[in-house]
Structure 1
Amino acid sequence: MTKESTLKAARGDLTREREGLALMRNTARGALRVMETVGVVGRQGMGWLLGDRDELPVRLRRTFESLGATYIKLGQFIASSPSLFPEEYVSEFQKCLDRTPPMPFHYIRDTVERELGQPLSALYEWVDPQPLASASIAQVHAARLHNGAEVVIKVQRPGVRHVLLTDFNFLYFSARVVESLAPGLSRSALSGVIEELQAGMLEECDFQQEARNLEAFNRFLAESANTAVVAPRPVGTHTTARVLTMERFHGVPLTDLEVLRAYTDDPAGTLITALNTWFSSLMLCDFFHADLHAGNLMLLEDGRVGFIDFGMVGRIRRETWAGMMELFEAIGHGDVDGMARAMAMVGMTREEVDVAALARDIGALQERLTDVDASSLVQADRNDREVNQLLTDLVRIGEGHGIRFPREFALLLKQFLYFDRYVQALAPELDMFSDGRVDMFGALDQLPGSDEPLH
């Protein structure tokens, strides 16, 4: 054996040894995380048995918050999915917080320097040690580049990706056990929902993907000649999978009406600009922004609308969006045949749906349907209990016919709930379904008819 081949073999042995050690460390950390999860659940259960008898949704929400990032995000998914979960859980999980104690600045410094390979002072002229925001996945700090550009630095919390993988593997295994013990639940595809959530949350942990999302959204704005809206531009030289540096925006959240009046004399027009941009992105961009809460839509000092935080995005088929709007319209008119057709269009199924039979089952809800206005389906604070129960019943009936609603259904509904809060704050007279200034279907009209996925 030559000296070169000997060295090559030695390097291979060293690599395999390192990989083996890393696997052992990850396995050990995974086992500890599972033990921690079981311990937290056990303590909560023991507290309940010993007399701390708060309501089950409250107990579950507190348990999720104690377990950290994965379960907080899962709680927020429950809060935004009235079509999938009972009303009392949806209401309670609205309180599920995504704010965590800030990480010490030395960790921020160490992470940035390790990821980018240079001292912090060589990368940035200035970094504010006080965070702008601290959430379950990342922490954000204001900074300034040496060229004078104002930026923000988004730094991932330690071990988040590993915790997510461990937690979701545990949840997936638990879901499969539940499905095997209760075959009637198989149509609701608990394990499938968990797989979709895992994919979405792991994508949030890849800041290079978020940077690509920012670049793609800005391209979409440029190609659609939309100069009224902007997204931050990432700084590629200062970005890795765990550190994202991007342009800093100065402005106010779109829900703060009193402050908005100092920036614009047409708050409703600002909102309509944001709505039309988002509706257009459903079809003309590679994805849609899937987390438009009050902190992620801003009115900037120059009058433009800023879309920020592109960690959570969704992708939708043309026919899914059209079917969802048909579903809302059919519910508003009490049209059970139209509802059945729309549900078959929106839902995911490997089975041939008997639309006539589905319509007959939906017809049992006819009396309740006639009392529900279509606009109330997307209004977060109006007639919640009735609407949530109706959507839950519709999903249950659909599942009985082999239909499973995709994750995008919940993501879209969540954005409509956010939109209604914006409407109530900025333009309470606005009806998204009938106001001619809001163009929900303009992008659909620009596309050729096709049943193929757009994304």
Structure 2
Amino acid sequence: MLSNPVKDVRRLNEIFSILIKYGFGDMLRRMGLANTAEQASRLMRSPISNEMLNMRPPQRFRCAIEEMGPTFIKLGQILATRVDLFSQDMIHELEKLQDDAPVMPYAEIEPLIEKALGAPPTKVFRYINEKPLASASIAQVHEAMTKKGERVVLKVRKPGVKRTIEADLRLMHSMARLINIQSVELRRYRPEEMVREFERSLRRELDFTIEAKNSERIARNLRKFKWLKIPKVYWQWTSETLNVQEFVQGTSAKDSEALDRMGVDRELLARRGSQVAWKCMLEDGLFHADPHPGNFYVLPGNGIAMLDFGMVGKLSYQRREQIIRLVRSIIFQETDTAAAVLVEWSNSDNIDVEALARDCADLVEQYYGLNLNEIDIPQVILDCMALMRNYDLIMPSDITLAAKAFITLEGFGRLVKPDFNLMDAAEPLIRDLIKKRYHPVRLARSLGSRAIKLVDRIYEPPSELPQVHSQGSSSKMDAYLMDRLSYRLEDASYRQTQAIYDVGFLIMFTLMLITPHGPRIYDISVLNVIGVLGVLGVIANVSRVQVVTWWQRKKRDLS
């Protein structure tokens, strides 16, 4: 519901007018907003320029978002991570969205600092540089020095930001509901879910204590890397609207000339950066979601400083296990496992599982014979996204955020070192994770846990309530896998029976082959001849069974 109808309707008309201005009136009509679009078009004061008409649609979309204001710029930055939903042209344009904003005078910022500190800034800090280091839509950053002589940075939330964002979020929820109701074409993008995801991300970004906690947690996870620097948080002054952190003096990783003057080891820097990223994603499950060069400083001695933890990604234990299973399925060419992972990611009840499995076979075969360090995991995830897009399936947001971070990190690595290979640092970690996953102790614990759950189910009283399934496609996938399993059991039983016969005949014919006794014709042992022919016959039968089994399996994969 709109809490302030007059202001919200005025703002909604403003947004629609901007969309129409940049040539997206037809999109509003497809959303079922024809009347609103007509009303908004009458409010436009300037016609569409020729320059705008010559722009490609992704360029016009980016310009429209920039004109809508900071909330929508943040939304565009989030949409830039959804590589599963948008084309590469659209992603590249959305990546250009800048969060720069006009500088606010220090006289307007100082009361906010005082309110957050609960005391005049002059009583806490020796001095505060009135000229900001940076100014964004949500916050402004100033350098300061404590009474003890420690250099710090103050990240201050700008006034009125929360109120503006709350109003824009209300409008976004209303627009998402309209799209979901009116447009079958756009419904597949799950607009309401996308807005809820954006709202969660933006609210976390508004609370600076969450950013501070994220930086400390990542610092603890990465404490073994002595060459890595993450700014210390000064909790005695940090609050929801003010983040006080250690000032880090370094060289921006995107300043190539300065790096050359420092004489840094570019290969070592790239390897260290990728080590940090892979450990965060696959081992810790908490990673920097915006690893562009501006958020990294290079320190003397080939050290690295990580900055700005406003946007972080989380991969649950289950998600990390799924990624490891996907990598394993590619190494061992296990089509069914790859298909099962994609079904789990889709969380959809309308999947042609057999068709998906056939397409997964084509995907898996692309990587046949490659070593682990030759398997490009970010590219594998992108291939999976393209495959799921063919079935109108949407990848989970945490996976897409990780994929986007991979892509950004790889671009950053190649900026530091042109022949950078992201997988070089990943191989030992992935091998270690696979070993841990199938370690006997862990398998024993897993079996024990499952046994306890089975016993609990046996003793659990029957429920009259209907069972709710979190994944609608699980029954289809289970039926498909059971069908495949039955085929494999039949194959195994057939091969086992043939093996028993073959071994028996092989022993018998071998004994006949080596025996010196028995009838002879032209001084040639009849039993020896039968033994030779019998051994050759057994070998031919074994080959026949292998060819028949392979052909039957191939036919099932193609059917």
TM-score range, shorter chain: 0.7 to 0.9
Give, in whole Å, the separation in 2 of the partners of 1:248 and 1:124.
14
Partner of 1:10: none
Question: Secondary structure of the residue that 1:305 maps to in structure 2?
Answer: strand
Distance change in 2, residues 1:33/1:242 (3 Å): farther
Counterpart secondary structure, 2:320:
helix
Partner of 1:109: 110
Match of 1:165 in 2: 166
AA paired with 1:357? A
Q: Deviations over 1:49-100 (max 9, x none)?
A: 5754133222221110111222112222333333210233223223222212
Task: Give the C-alpha shift of residue 333 in structure 1.
Answer: 10
Which residues in structure 2 correspond to 1:379-418 (within 5 Å)?
Answer: 393-399=386-392, 403-418=393-408
Q: Aligned equivalents of 2:272 and 2:63: distance in 1?
A: 38
Q: Secondary structure at the match of 1:143?
A: strand
Residue 61 and residue 27 in structure 1: after superposition, are their counterparts in 2 closer, same or farther (change >3 A)? same
Question: d(CA) in 2 for partners of 1:78 and 1:25?
Answer: 27
* Alignment map for 1:333-412 (pairs within 5 Å): 339-345=338-344, 347-349=345-347, 351=349, 355-361=353-359, 375=376, 393-399=386-392, 403-412=393-402
The one of 15, 25, 29 aligned to 1:37: 15
Match of 2:479 in 1: none
Q: Deviations over 1:298-323 (max 9, x none)?
A: 22236431111111111112332343
The yes-or-no answer on 1:422 pairing with 2:402 is no
Partner of 1:206: 207
- Structure 1 residues 146-192: Cα deviation after superposition (integer angstroms, max 9, x where no partner): 11001111111222223333223322222222222234654432211
| 1:439 alignment partner, SS class | helix
d(CA) in 2 for partners of 1:412, 1:44: 32
Query: CA offset at residue 238 of structure 1?
Result: 1.6
Q: How does 1:436-451 map to 2 (within 5 A)?
A: 439-440=429-430, 442=432
Q: Deviation at 1:398? A: 4.5
Partners of 1:24 and 1:70 lie apart in 2 by 17
Question: 1:69 aligns to what?
Answer: 70
Larger deviation, residues 236-245 vs 272-281: 272-281
Check the 8 A contact 1:395/1:405 in 2, yes or no: yes
Q: Deviations over 1:306-365 (max 9, x none)?
A: 1111111111123323434665787899986564233224x1415486643312355788
> Per-residue deviation at 1:422?
2.3
How far apart are the structure 1 equivalents of 2:265 and 2:428?
15
Q: Which structure has more helix as a fraction of its residues?
A: 2
What residue in structure 1 maps to residue 60 of structure 2? 59
Residues 352, 30 of structure 1: alpha-carbon distance in 2 compared, 3 angstrom cutoff: closer
TM-score, normalization: structure 2? 0.65
Is this contact kept in 2: 1:283–1:444, CA < 8 A? no
Distance 1:362 1:443, change over 3 A: closer
2:308 aligned partner: 309
> How far apart, in 1, do the equivalents of 2:186 and 2:359 lie?
19
Q: 8 Å contact 2:330–2:364 — kept in the other structure? A: no
Give the structure 2 partner of residue 290 of structure 1. 289
For structure 1, list consecutive stretches of 5 or more residues without a partner in the other structure.
1-22, 380-386
Residues 1:375 and 1:176: Cα distance change in structure 2 (over 3 Å) = same
Q: Measured at CA, do residues 260 and 378 of structure 1 come closer, stay the same or move farther in structure 2, by a change above 3 Å?
A: farther
Flag the structure with more relative contact order, 1 or 2, with Cα contacts below 8 A and sequence separation at least 6.
Answer: 1
Contact 1:34 1:166 in 2 (8 A): no
Percent identity, aligned pairs only, is: 26
| Equivalent residue, structure 1, for 2:493 | none
CA 1:55–1:172: 2 relative to 1, 3 Å: same
Letter in 1 for 2:79: I
Equivalent position of 1:256 in the other structure: 255
Deviation at 1:266, TM superposition (A): 2.0
Question: Closer, same or farther in 2 for the Cα pair 1:255/1:242, shift >3 Å?
Answer: same
Cα distance change on mapping 1:440 and 1:126 into 2, 3 Å: farther
Q: Which residue of 2 aligns with 1:3?
A: none
Q: Is the Cα–Cα contact under 8 Å of residues 112 and 155 in structure 1 kept in the other structure?
A: yes
What code does the residue aligned with 2:355 have?
A: A
Gaps of 5+ in 2: 24-43, 369-373, 451-559
Q: 1:69 to 1:77 in 2, by over 3 A?
A: same
Contact 1:298 1:307 in 2 (8 A): yes
In 1, distance between residues paired with 2:134 and 2:428? Answer: 32
Q: Deviations over 1:231-271 (max 9, x none)?
A: 11111122111111100111112343432244454222122
RMSD between superposed Cα atoms in Å: 3.7
Out of 174-183 and 432-441, give the one that drifted further: 432-441
CA distance in 1, matches of 2:66, 2:233: 31
Q: Secondary structure of 2:99's partner?
A: coil
Bigger drift between 87-96 and 43-52 goes to: 43-52
1:9 counterpart residue number: none
Residues 208 and 265 of structure 1, relative CA distance in 2, 3 Å threshold? closer
Which letter maps to 1:136?
A: S
* Amino acid paired to 1:199: R
Residues 81-125 of structure 1 show CA distances to partners (whole Å, capped at 9, x for unaligned) of 332102332232232222122111112212101221211211211
Whether the aligned pair in 2 keeps the contact of 1:58 and 1:92 (CA below 8 Å) is yes
1:193 and 2:171 aligned: no
Q: Give the deviation of 1:374 after TM superposition.
A: 5.5
Superposed CA offset, 1:407-430 (max 9, x none): 112211121122212221223333
